[in-house]
Amino acid sequence: METLWQKSMQFLVIVCWLFVSLESPAEAENILCYKTFDAVSGTCSNLLGGGVSQEDCCLNHEYGFQGTEHGPCQSCREAEWGEWTSWSSCSVSCTEGVQRRRRICYGYHGEACPPGTQKWEMKSCLLKECCPVMGGWSEWSAWKPCSVTCQTGTQLRERTCTNPNPVCGGTCTGVGKETRPCDTNQICPTHGNWGSWGPWQHCSHNCVVEGSASQPQQQRSRLCNNPPPSFSPPGRPCPGASRESQSCTGLPFCPRDGNWGNWKPSQPCSVTCGVGQVLQKRLCDNPSPKHGGKPCLGEDIRRQPCTIKVPCPVDGHWAEWSPWKNCSRYQVDITIECEEIPASQIRNRKCVGRRNGGKPCVGLGRESRTCYNFQGCSVPGAWTVWSPWGLCEPACGPEPIRSRKRVCEPIYPNYPKTMVGEDGKEKNISFWGIPKPQCKRLDGQDLEVVEETRCQNVPPCED
C-alpha cells in the first residue's frame, strides 16, 4: 500500500506539470521570429510571425528575432563578427581627411566575441588637393541698345568674374547679367493671331453601357492672344471660329470592380526543421474584374508561422591551418640547418562547427611539403621599397596616426626549387624558418625602418 509521503509527492508532481503547461504559452508570445538576419546592418527581414518561442525560432541558426516590435534584432547564431560596413564618406571635401568603417559582434551566446560590441577601422582620403577660393566681379559694361524699335523692350549689361579670377573651382556670388526696361516712344500696330488649341474637354460620360448607340460630345477652344490685336493703332482680329466640337468615340465599357473569393485550404509547412510558414491562397473571382474594373485590394496569399521541432543542420567549416611544424628529416642523424638538404614538414587544420547532421568539410585536414631548414641562418639581405600606408590607429581615439615601413628581407641561396618525389611526381621546395638577413644599416636600423604621420581632419566617432 502507498504511504502518505508517496501520495504527497505524486500530488506535487501534478501541480508542477500544470504550472509549466499554463506558463509555457505565455512565454512563447514574447518574440517575433524572422527568416533573414543581415550581418552587416544587424537588421531582420522576412517576418515568419509572432507567438514563437526563442528556443523554437533558433532551431535554425540563420534566423533572427526581436523581443519587442521596435526592439533591436538579435541573431540566432553563435556570437561572431559581422561583415565590415562600406567605408564612410571622406570627412572633408578638400585637402586630406579620413574614412571609417565598422563591424559588430552579432549573436546571443558563445565566446568568440562579446555580442553588441564594435570594431572600427579608419584610413586617410583625399578628394581634392585644394579648397575653392571665391573670385571677384569686374566693373559693369555699358548698357547695350534697346531690344526693339517700337514700344518698350529691354537693355542688357554684363560683368565678368575676373577681379580676381576664382581658384580651385571657386565662383563669384551674384549674377553676371542685368536687364532694365527701355521705351522707344514709338507705337507698333499689333494684328491678332490665334493661340494653340486647348485640350479636348472631358466627355460628358467616361464610359458607355454595353449596347448603347449614343455618343457624347466634347469641345475645345482657343484664344486670340498670340498676340491679341492692338487698339491704337488698331490691329486686325483673328480670323475663324474660337470653338469646335466632335463626337466622343472609342469610349470603354463601364468597369466592374473585382471581389475576393474564399481562402483556400493551407499548404504544408515550408520547412523540415525550425520555423517556417504555411500558405493560404484566394482568387479575385467573386466576381472577377471586367472592362478595366479595379482588381481586388490586398494580398492573394497570407502566411502563418509553423514549427517543426527539429534542429536544422549546420555544415562544418575548416579552422585556420596550424603553423608549419619544424622542417626536419626524421630518423636521420645529420644536421640539415643552412644546408642544401631537402627535408619535410606538415601542418593540420580542424573541421569545426558541424552539428545536427550538417555536411562535413570538403578537402584534407593535413598538408605536407618539402623544405630547406634556414632557422637562424645568416644570409645576405636587401631592403624592400616602402610599403603602402597602413590604417589610421586608433580608429576612434585621439590623434590617430598611420605608418609605412621598409624591411630587410633575406636573399636565399640558389638551391633547386623542385625535386622528384618517390611517387615520380615533381614537388616544390620551400625555404622555412626565420633566418638572420644581413643588410647595410639604414637610418640606424638593421632589420626594419618605420615612418609615421598623423591622420588629418578626423571627425568624432558616431558612438
Integer Cα distance of 431 and 414 in angstroms: 11
Please state, in angstroms and rounded to a whole number, the distance separating the CA atoms of residues 374 and 333.
18
Lookup result for grid cell 481562402: 263
In the chain, the amino acid numbered 42 is: G
CA 364 to chain centre: 35
Question: Helix, strand, or coil here: 13?
Answer: helix
Mean pLDDT computed over 195-207? 83
What's residue 234's pLDDT? 83
Structural domains counted in the chain:
2
The verdict on residue 124 lying in a domain is no
CATH code, domain carrying 174: 2.20.100.10
| Domain range for 140 | 136-183
Q: Would 304 be classed as within a structural domain?
A: no
Q: Decide if pLDDT at 29 tops 70.
A: no
Note the pLDDT of residue 463.
66
* Residue 13 grid cell: 508532481
- Looking at the predicted structure, is the pLDDT value of residue 15 above 70? no
- Asked whether residue 363 is domain-assigned, the answer is yes
Domain boundary among 183, 218, 245: 183
Q: How far apart are the first and last CA of the chain?
A: 70
- Tally Cβ neighbours within 10 Å of residue 365: 13
Candidates 405, 415, 333; CA nearest to 372 is 415
In single-letter form, the type of residue at position 373 comes to N
AA identity, residue 247: S
Out of 59-68, 116-125, 148-157, 428-437, give the one with best mean pLDDT. Answer: 428-437
Pick the closest to residue 251 from 293, 199, 216 (CA basis).
216
Average pLDDT of the residues in 341-368: 92
pLDDT digit string, tens, across residues 376-386: 999 999 999 99
Residue 48 belongs to some domain of the structure: no
Assess if residue 328 is contained within a domain. yes
Q: CB of 217 within 8 A of CB of 203?
A: yes
Helix (H, G, I), strand (E, B) or coil at 54: helix
Give the number of other CB atoms < 10 A from CB of residue 303.
17
Q: Is 301 a domain residue? A: no
For the chain, the average pLDDT equals 84
Confidence of residue 22 (pLDDT cuts 50, 70, 90): very low
Nearest-angstrom CA–CA distance, 351 and 374? 31
Alpha-carbon separation of residue 399 from 126, 159, 392, 460 (angstroms) = 18, 47, 9, 11
Unique residue bearing C-alpha cell 517556417: 276
Distance CA 119, CA 84 (A): 9
Residue 406 is assigned to a structural domain of this protein: yes
Integer Cα distance of 7 and 432 in angstroms: 76
- 321 grid coordinates: 591551418
Q: Is residue 160 part of a domain?
A: yes
